[in-house]
């Protein structure tokens, strides 16, 4: 696969500056970083795919949604996505895998440190915020997706005011 080595160099410089442990697949232009969370999910694997004029980061959530809870998890993720400005949750309905995706366009310029930081920090913040409710649904909680989103939003407003992440 063809990718921009200059974009990859910028991402690698950022990861080194942050002292993050990462792996780089030079054949495909993919970075892999395991990061810690403060929610019950504990960790997330972020894979960044460098392309010719952009990069996409996928923050994969470990537990998959079982067949019995995919509809509720889908509703939860859909509700969580509402109003998010930078990225979104996605779920594969075939296997239940879940990730948070961000896209960074670099067609006009090489990515700044802030652009790269956002591709890592935003998924971590969003997953940290919504992770406990998501895990509750995957674990079979007797609550509804709507109720769990409301609880997550109430926690956020207590923490930061009423802004969405």
Question: What residue spans define the domains of the chain?
Answer: 5-160
pTM: 0.87
**Quick one: pLDDT at residue 161?**
54
**Quick one: pLDDT at residue 150?**
81
**Quick one: pLDDT at residue 160?**
66
Contact 101, 90 (CB under 8 A): yes
Contact 128, 56 (CB under 8 A): no
Strand pairing partners for 43? 36
Mean per-residue pLDDT, 51-64: 96
CATH number at 5-160: 3.30.1460.70
Mean per-residue pLDDT, 43-59: 98
């Amino acid at each position: 696969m063809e990718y921009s080595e200059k974009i990859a160099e910028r991402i690698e410089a950022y990861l080194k500056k942050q002292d993050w442990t990462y792996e780089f697949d030079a054949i495909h232009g993919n970075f892999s970083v395991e990061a810690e969370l403060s929610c019950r999910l504990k960790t997330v694997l972020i894979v960044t795919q460098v392309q010719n004029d952009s990069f996409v980061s996928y923050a994969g959530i470990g537990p998959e949604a079982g067949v019995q809870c995919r509809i509720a998890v889908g509703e939860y993720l859909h509700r969580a996505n509402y109003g998010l400005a930078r990225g979104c949750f996605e779920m594969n309905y075939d296997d239940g895998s879940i990730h948070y995706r961000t896209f960074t366009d670099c067609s006009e310029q090489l990515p700044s440190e802030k652009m790269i930081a956002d591709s890592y920090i935003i998924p971590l913040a969003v997953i940290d915020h919504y992770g406990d409710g998501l895990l509750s649904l995957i674990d079979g909680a007797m609550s509804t997706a709507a109720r769990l989103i409301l609880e997550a939003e109430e926690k956020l407003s207590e923490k930061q005011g009423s802004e969405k992440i």
